[in-house]
Structure 1
């Protein structure tokens, strides 16, 4: 069994405070026996005021949260998936996830491919593409404590082709760090995460933002760990803090042997009228 921890946070507008919270979560995760910690999307700053956020967002090499997490990973001997950080990328930002090993080295990076540009029935309007540059490359990080880990971020959850590509590239687990809105979370969060796990016969690990943030937004919470059969192993509910889950990596072969969907996939040609 592999023990993991998911950090459910209500990240604010101050990256220095976020760095302290993440370092404390890492110490707690290690004390709780976790081999790897997973954090939400935007673990350094959640701020819809683009001008104010621009004063805090740094290039990757200068980001204080990334530096603090790498240092704490070395100190505690703990692997960490930073769900994502807002970092500078040329004249824009990138929504970038990181996998850091227990020596503090960055083992993989992923820039969010699908950006959240939507108008919700509640009146909420989000235009992630106004500030962020989309990524263009799917990523699997080999040899983590949960096996080969596929990386996604939040809105990517709605695009099953990405999950299929990661599964076919050998991923045994996929991370889905998120800052889901409350209305979309209530409607779709659990069902989509369970569906992605079932479709690919793999673990899905989704650390989430939760609560009423300093910039006024509200996020859904319910950090989840889901097994390859679609069973929920852990649900963080509302509030903040760590939730632990035990992953039996042998379940992947068991489930895929029972229903071998990856082996049965066939290319789909043009759709006829």
Structure 2
């Protein structure tokens, strides 16, 4: 049994102010007994003006969020998972990068968001993450004392193959830190998160951005912690800061996978395309 936390934020454009907010919320979670604390996607800054964002960014060694999270993990003796923050790469692109720090303050794992949010939504809302960010190419799992953790970020939730690959590699806790838009969140956020938990028989922790941000965007909030049967253990509101807490027992993962052993029963298969004449084509 371990107590985990998801921290909901409403990050602005100033990384230092966001680092201060992150610290306050992480400390609150740790004071409540959390061993693992997750923050949202883009903890460090939400800024639609890309030149302005690049102007306040640093590389990993100089990033204020990275430094603060490592120090908090070490001081509080907990695991701190920065859902993601924008990191300068030294070229024209940035990295949307998540970090996991252990109780000794050392970096355990990094994960770069694989799928870029390049979409055209209703009411003229349009996003092109690939214009600014270099996508990652490697899914990751990390072995922690209380379970194996799988990584994803926001739009990755729409690509179930990541989560299945991680679950097949033994991941018992899946993570989806996010900055979901209000429009897509209202339509799909809860159902996608619960589906990823159910189909993999895993806990899922999703710390989200929530509210109207300084750059004018609005994110959906509703951070969640979900159990392997798809039940919501904790949920935040749609806007503003929150600290969600839940006690999770990894034995529940084994129990769910024993009842519905779809990971064990999974089979490789081929695909044939059949024409209207009934002839199969390779």
TM bracket, shorter-chain basis: over 0.9
Deviation at 1:123, TM superposition (A): 1.2
Radius of gyration: which is bigger? 2
How many residues are treated as equivalent by the alignment?
A: 272
Report the equivalent of 2:277: none
CA RMSD, aligned part only?
A: 0.9
What is the alpha-carbon distance in structure 1 between the residues aligned to residue 271 and residue 126 of structure 2?
35
Deviations 1:150-169 (A, max 9, x none): 00000000001111101011
Residue in 1 aligned with 2:278? none
Q: What's the counterpart of residue 14 of structure 1?
A: 14
C-alpha distance after superposition, 1:98-152 (max 9, x if no partner): 111111111001000000000001211000001000000010011254x110000
Q: Tell me, which stretches of 5 or more residues in structure 1 are unaligned?
A: none
Q: Report the Cα distance in structure 2 between the residues aligned to 1:22 and 1:9, rounded to whole angstroms.
A: 8
- C-alpha distance in 2 between matches for 1:135 and 1:44: 19
Question: 1:158-169 residue pairs with structure 2 within 5 A?
Answer: 158-169=158-169
Aligned to 1:132: 133
Report whether the alignment pairs 1:271 with 2:272: yes
SS in structure 2 of the partner of residue 184 of structure 1: helix
Q: Which TM-score applies when normalising by structure 1? A: 0.98
Give 3-state SS (helix, strand or coil) of 1:161's partner. Answer: helix
Distance (whole Å) between structure 2 residues aligned to residue 246 and residue 199 of structure 1:
21
1:226: which partner in 2?
A: 226
User: Which residue pairs with 2:243 in the alignment?
Assistant: 242
Superposition map of 1:34-53 within 5 A? 34-53=34-53
- Flag the 1:144–1:150 CA change in 2: closer, same or farther, 3 A: farther
After TM superposition, where is structure 1 displaced by more than 6 Å over at least 4 residues in a row? none
Can you list the C-alpha shifts for 1:44-75, whole angstroms capped at 9, x where unaligned? 01000001001111111110111011111111
Equivalent residue runs for 1:18-167 within 5 Å: 18-91=18-91, 92-145=93-146, 147-167=147-167
What are structure 2's unaligned runs of at least 5 residues? 275-282
CA distance in 1 between partners of 2:257 and 2:234 (Å): 22
Please tell me whether the aligned partners of residues 70 and 104 of structure 1 are also in contact (alpha carbons under 8 angstroms). Answer: yes
Closer/same/farther in 2, CA of residues 182 and 110 from structure 1, 3 Å limit: same
How far apart are residue 272 of structure 1 and its match?
Answer: 2.8
Q: Kindly indicate whether the alpha-carbon contact (under 8 Å) linking 1:26 and 1:76 is maintained by their aligned counterparts in 2.
A: no
